[in-house]
Structure 1
Amino acid sequence: MPNKLKLGLIGIVEEEAKRDFWCTMGRVAGIGYRGIEGAEQLLEGNAEENVARFHSLGLQVLTCSASRELLREDLEGVIFRARQLHTNRVTIWWAPCDSAESIREDIELYNTAGTKLAAEGIKLCYHNHDHEFRNAFGGVTAMDLLAAGTDPAALFFELDIAWITYGGEDPARMLRKYAGRVPAIHVKDLHGLENQEHPFTTVGTGIVKLREAISTAADIGTEWMVVEQDQLRNLTAFETITASYLNLKEAGLI
């Protein structure tokens, strides 16, 4: 693997962060994480001072969250919050993709909003789940419709390798397919494909082809891999992020 991806984190320690944000972030940085997605707590109070303190821990804000409604109704507010957080990405975390018509409407929105964000130096990213690969219209998956219909300069993808696996696709193949449009990936693991409510496990302890996916992401120029686990399994939050870090390190992936 020619390059190694930078390591970020989303979720997992959110309850701990609610109780003591700065202590939690210090512990996260101490483990070896260098970026956080979902750090909107920094906007509370003096955002500039908060972000500077965040940076002093060795952490970056990797993205600013946005819904489709916010992109339509308050794009300037989205841009303002991204600027406050010193991040160059805005991410949409979910869309239903339940009909070809709804996807066409979303494509129009993403092209319009993404073009405006790009003019500000900000990448609009779409984060997948499994339904984008399961839902197909005219033999074309929702994910392929989104990719084909959007301007590559306006919409990028934050591919989740576990949800791709859960959706019946191969993560490395999808990464190669969307090469050039994947600034970050979500790295998480599944202990199986049968349990639809709680299939997740600590990174490196499940069935997701992590090495192949992460190596492919590095090959296509992805910058960040972000550890995520939708539900805890047998470990506590800090045990989970520590074990995930160590498993990736032991595998030579960080």
Structure 2
Amino acid sequence: MPYPIAYQLYSSRNFPPLADQLPILKSMGYDAIEPWLPAYEADTKLFRRQLDDAGLACYGFHMPLAGLVSEPNRFIDIALTLGATVMIPPYVTAEERQNTPDYWRELGHKLARGAVAAASHGLKVAWHNHDFEYVPLPDGTRPIDHIFEAGGPDVLFEIDCGWITRAGADPAQELKRYANRIIAIQTKDTAPLGTKTDDGWTATGDGIIDWANLVPLFRATKADHIVTEHDNPSDWQRFARRSIDHIKALGL
């Protein structure tokens, strides 16, 4: 069975209005969008109506870690309004990060507490990686491993293959290592190191990642959907179309 395919709206944040993008994405074959804050913040009910009108779903959405810690009920309400099932904190700033295992383990504990609150509403919590979680700490351990070990089995994973590649790690190994935790797969692709165009990001299939070799590993995870993303496309429609066409050509 093919995976449902979502589009991360952050990709086209520089081409407003977002509402006008939704029917275009539907016409390309997308099943859903994955919004980021503040796309849904001003009027979540209106945003949901716009999704419904376009025939698009929302499986998960990006949100601040601080929101999960300090305002869990607010973001649970947002999830329920959007019809989403996965709440996804994706980032901590460079100023917040500490180069110690204890910092990353406490981040895992925060996610775990959020997962408990979410579970009572039928929702799940997943972490989304960038590159910094794969940079070894002074003791040689990795933040990503501390996050999930401390978080426990209820903290899930939206894996971003592009950022893992940028960090010098191997997406294949991470797909294997966290197969039982991965609930969504971002097929972000990256151009060769040193590429300046579009900050070095590309459409899925136009970069250096060998997606065909990763497909069997996708199937071995618990992922229930695929997400396309590009951090700074100069042509968002070209990115969106080329990415979904490549994903479908892979048989996903």
**TM-score w.r.t. structure 1 length?**
0.87
- CA RMSD in angstroms comes to 2.2
Q: For 2:33 and 2:99, how far apart are their aligned partners in 1? A: 30
Q: Offset of 1:31 from its aligned partner?
A: 0.2
Q: Which amino acid aligns with 1:12?
A: S
Q: Which residue pairs with 2:244 in the alignment?
A: 245
Q: Aligned pair in 2 of structure 1 residues 188, 45: CA closer, same or farther (>3 Å)?
A: closer
Show the 5 A alignment for 1:3-82. Answer: 3-10=1-8, 11-16=10-15, 18-19=16-17, 21-38=18-35, 41-42=39-40, 44-45=42-43, 47=45, 50-82=47-79
SS in 1 for 2:24: helix
Q: For 2:40 and 2:222, how far apart are their aligned partners in 1? A: 29
Q: Offset of 1:98 from its aligned partner?
A: 3.2
Show the 5 A alignment for 1:157-176. Answer: 157-176=157-176
Q: Offset of 1:186 from its aligned partner?
A: 0.9
Q: What CA deviation, in whole Å up to 9, does each residue of 1:108-139 have, x standing for no partner?
A: 21121111212221111111011111133532
What stretches of structure 1 of length at least 5 have no aligned partner? none
Q: Percent identity?
A: 21
Q: For 1:41 and 1:162, how far apart are their aligned partners in 2? A: 23
Q: For 1:129 and 1:245, how far apart are their aligned partners in 2? A: 22
Q: Which consecutive segments of 4 or more residues in structure 1 shift more than 3 A?
A: 39-46, 194-197
Q: Which amino acid aligns with 2:205?
A: G
Number of aligned residue pairs: give it.
Answer: 245
Q: Offset of 1:141 from its aligned partner?
A: 0.9
SS in 1 for 2:157: strand
Q: For 1:87 and 1:4, how far apart are their aligned partners in 2? A: 20
What stretches of structure 2 of length at least 5 have no aligned partner? none
Q: What CA deviation, in whole Å up to 9, does each residue of 1:148-200 have, x standing for no partner?
A: 111112x1110001111111222122111111211101111111134589221
Q: Which residue pairs with 2:153 in the alignment?
A: 152
Q: Which amino acid aligns with 1:14?
A: R
Question: Is the 1:132–1:141 Cα contact (8 Å) retained in structure 2?
Answer: yes
Q: Aligned pair in 2 of structure 1 residues 238, 179: CA closer, same or farther (>3 Å)?
A: same
Q: Which amino acid aligns with 1:76?
A: N
